[in-house]
Each structure stands twice: as C-alpha cells, then as structure tokens.
Structure 1
Amino acid sequence: MGKRISEKNNFYYLTISLVVLLVSSSLEQVLKIDFLDVVLQGVTILNFVVCLVSLRFDKNWYRFLLTIAICWGIVSVTKAIFPIPMMDAVILTLMFIFFGGTFKSIVRQILFTGSIDSNKVVGSLALFLLLGLMWAILYLVILEFSAEAFTGMVQLPWGENFSNAAYFSFVTLTTLGYGDISPISPVAQVIVYLEAITGVFYMAIVVASLVGASQSNQEKNDG
C-alpha cells in the first residue's frame, strides 16, 4: 500500500478510508452485528494506517500521529483486558487528537499552497469529513460525562453510539438541523453552534483557497 500511495494520490486513499469508517459505524443498525465494537475498532485501526501512510510525506506530523496511534492501541488493549471506568473517554480523546493532527497536516499541504490538482480537491473533501468526525467524537466525549446532554442520544459504549453522533455532527456541520437530536446541556449547545459556524467558514475558506490558487496558476501560465 505504501508504494501505491504517493503525494499525487494520497488524499484519494485517505478520503476513501474516512468514508469507510463513517459507513461502518452504521452496521449495527443495518446488519444487527453484536460485535460492532470489534468491527469498528478494526476499521479505525485500518483508518489510522491509511492516514499514516498517506501523510508520511509530512515528517514532523507523521511522527506525532504515529505516537498517538500507538497510545490509542495500548489504551484499547488495556480496556479489553481491564475494563476501567472512563477508559472510553481516553480512547475518544486520543482519536480526536489523531484526527486533529491529520486535519492540521492536510491543511498544511493543500490550502493556499502550490497549484491545485484533483488530489488537493479531494483533500479538501477529506478535511470536511475530518471536521464532522472530530465533532462527532466531541459529542461522544460529552456523553461520557453527561448522559443527559442530548435528546435523541443516550449514554452507550462509544462504538454503539458512533453512528448517531456522526449523523448529528454532519447535520450540524451542514446547518441542516433536522431536530431529531438536540443539545440540552450548556456545554453541548456551545459545541454544537461552534460546529455550525465552523462549517460555514470552512466552505468560504476552501472556496477562497481554490479560487486564489487557480488565479495564481492562470497568471503564471499567462506570464
């Protein structure tokens, strides 16, 4: 896989892996799988591997992300052996840090830098998926500490709640707001409206970046 993934196509693989992660979270509702946690953890590990291979060209962030992924693996194994309370919160926090680092690394590579190609356009989609994913993880962390933070979501192991949290996150990020899941606690409400604001500004930033890079390329060609 490492030989197939290059700087010219790395964001294609990364985006596909994120889509697979998000789709796999809905398997419990569709297929009624009893061992969803195992399946989701396996897909998460695969996603970590793809992210690491895709971003290995950014050496500094690669080392950081590798360290977080190793810590996540250690904590996950520890939880399986010793079911310590609040271990899910630690796992989710490490996931948030990992995907946040992935987001930062992609931003450094595609926004307002160099010429625009199809790989960078797909990378902007990966950024959008990462935003929704990170906020979904935040909602799951909030549920770990406050079971009544949302209507429409109850406190469950993170793997069983991931699909609902991801659905609510992307509905909020795109400002659709269906209302079937709503924040109740003040902390949850703040996080929700911050995501809505981020979604609006992200679209403006990406459009500005792509248009600016396109104009810059045109000026170079004309010159």
Structure 2
Amino acid sequence: MVQTSPVRRSSPDKMIYVLVLVIIVQTIYPLTADGSLLTQIIYSLFYASLIVSGIVVAREQRQDIRLLTVLGATWFISSIIYNLNQHATWARFLAYGAIIPYQIAVTRVLLLYIFASKKVTRDVIYAAAAVYILIGAIFVPTYGLIETITYEQTGTNAFVDTTVEPGQVFPWQNFAYFSYVTLTTLGFGDIQPVTLVARAAVTIESVIGVFYTTVIMARLVSLYTAQGVEAEIKHDHTQTG
C-alpha cells in the first residue's frame, strides 16, 4: 500500500501568501469606516499588493503581467483620487469602475493556475480558496456601481439597509459584508436589493458561489483520484521490478 498522500507539497508554497493577503484585505475593511484618509490609503496599499501576488503567479506569462500591472496601477491611482474626494459621485464611479477589471484579472490568473495544474498541491488548494474570496470581492464594487448609478438617475437607493437612511450615501463597507453573505447564501435579510438590476446581480453572485464550489470540488477530486491511481501504478511497478 502506498503511504504517501496524493496531495503534494509544492516548493515553495507561494499561494499561501496570496491566500493570507486576500483574507487580510477582505477582513480589515471595517477599519476604513471612520473615513480617515490615512486608513483608506493603508487599505489601498494592502489591496495594491495583490498586484505583486498576481505577478508571482503569472510570472511566466508576460501578457498577464503587463495586464495586471496596468490594471493595478490604474486602480491604485483611482483609489488615491477617491480617498481625496470621498464624497464626490464621480470619484466613486472612478474607484468602482477601476477596481472591477483589476479584481477580475487577478481572479483569472488564479483560475488559470488551478485548471492548468495536473496535480493537487497545497498551492492549488490555497489558490482555489483565494478565488472564492475574490469572487465575493468582485461584487462589492459591482453593487456599489449599481447603487451609485441608480441613485444618480432616480434619487432612490438600489439597496435597502436597516443601518442606512433612505437617500443616504450607501457605504461600500456595507456591500463588503452583504457580498459575502450573498456568496455563501446565508441571506440574513438586513440588506435587500430593491431594483431589478440589483436583484439580478445578487442572484448571479449566489449562483456563481454555488456553481464555483461544485466545479472546483469536482476538479480537485478528479485530480486527487488520478494522482492516487498513478501512485498505485508506480508502486506496483516498483514492487514487481
């Protein structure tokens, strides 16, 4: 019987740093609720460090590196502009519009890494977890963009929150909480979409959350099974040889 596990340790485990960074970025956002310029800039620096993470993963793909660098730099500049003009509608448009393609690009690089891998390693598992968190992150500015556009066009909110008065600017931090509640299909009901576009976006995120976990589990299990069979064959050849 083969004693070694089919789950292999890659050397080095670079994805653990990506996962930890993604978790930190998505959990320290309450620190920015005070609106302080300093905390906003520090948070932006943490988020910008995802550029380095993406480049490390895509170091052999120059086109991806260029794309990540351009999108990351664009978002970082827009975030600084937003931090200096937090109450301006155009600044919110700029920040939301710049961060969405940046997040999608980082997520894409990680997904390509996962599905290009032929073996289940710790890095693959870490990358899969990071992608799940990033999916929730993508919908934070998406909801913010929907809310901003709706309010500018109609004067009403696209979402209803028990902590936000009608007509009040919807804090993006509330969307960070709402996005992960939606992604995991918990649905506490304290924040609700009220427009058709908002409801459609929420539905899409819920479906993606369920679909991703199903697909990624199938992928990892199939790789794990294939590795186990390969290990058994090698072991048999060794015994008979």
TM range (shorter): 0.7 to 0.9
Once residues 83 and 185 of structure 2 are traced to their aligned partners in structure 1, the CA distance between those partners, rounded to angstroms, is 37
Question: TM (normalized to structure 1)?
Answer: 0.84
The verdict on how the C-alpha distance between 1:79 and 1:124 changes in structure 2, with shifts beyond 3 A counting, is closer
- CA offsets 1:149-202 (integer angstroms, 9 cap, x no match): 00015525xxxx332111101111111100000001110000001111111111
What displacement does 1:85 show? 4.4
Select 1:162's aligned residue among 172, 178, 185. Answer: 172
Q: If you compute each CA radius of gyration, which structure gives the higher value, 1 or 2?
A: 2
Give 1:34's aligned residue.
Answer: 36
TM-fit CA distance, 1:79: 5.2
What does residue 204 of structure 1 align with? 214
2:117 equivalent in structure 1: 113
Distance 1:188 1:33, change over 3 A: closer
Return the alpha-carbon distance in structure 2 between the equivalents of residues 190 and 88 of structure 1: 22
Cα 1:172–1:7 change in 2 (3 A) is farther
Task: Give the conservation status (yes or no) of the 8 Å contact 1:115–1:213.
Answer: yes
Cα separation, partners in 2 of 1:178 and 1:85, compared to 1, 3 Å: closer
List aligned pairs for 1:24-63, cutoff 5 A. Answer: 24-28=28-32, 32=34, 34-35=36-37, 36-63=39-66
For the residue of structure 2 that corresponds to 1:146, the secondary structure is helix
Q: Is the 8 A contact 1:22 1:163 kept in 2?
A: no
For the residue of structure 2 that corresponds to 1:26, the secondary structure is helix
The answer to whether 1:70 aligns with 2:73 is yes
CA shift, 1:105, in A, is 1.0
Q: Distance in 1 between matches of 2:108 and 2:143?
A: 20
Deviation beyond 6 Å, 4+ runs, structure 1: 80-84
Q: Are positions 1:20 and 2:24 aligned together?
A: yes
- CA RMSD in angstroms, aligned pairs only: 2.4
Q: Greater shift after overlay, 102-111 or 207-216?
A: 102-111
2:202 matched residue in structure 1: 192
Is residue 2:163 matched to residue 1:150? Answer: no
Q: Distance in 1 between matches of 2:89 and 2:232?
A: 63
CA contact (8 A) 1:112 1:212 kept: no
* Aligned sequence identity (%): 22
Give the superposition deviation at 1:23: 1.7
**Structure 1 unaligned blocks of 5 or more:** 1-5
* Structure 1 CA distance for aligned equivalents of residues 30 and 169 of structure 2: 17
Is the contact between residue 25 and residue 162 of structure 1 (CA under 8 Å) also seen in structure 2? no
Work out whether residues 7 and 57 of structure 1, in 8 Å CA contact, stay in contact via their aligned partners in 2. no
Most deviating of 165-174 and 146-155: 146-155
How far apart in 2 are the matches of 1:145 and 1:7?
46
Letter in 1 for 2:117: T
Q: Given the alignment, which residue of 228, 233, 238 partners 1:218?
A: 228
Of 106, 127, 133, the residue aligned with 2:131 is 127
User: Letter of the aligned partner of 1:45 in structure 2?
Assistant: A
Distance apart, 1:57 and its partner CA: 3.8
- Corresponding residue SS for 1:182: strand
TM-score by length of structure 2 reads 0.78
Contact 1:14 1:54 in 2 (8 A): no
**Tell me, which stretches of 5 or more residues in structure 2 are unaligned?**
1-9, 152-156, 234-241
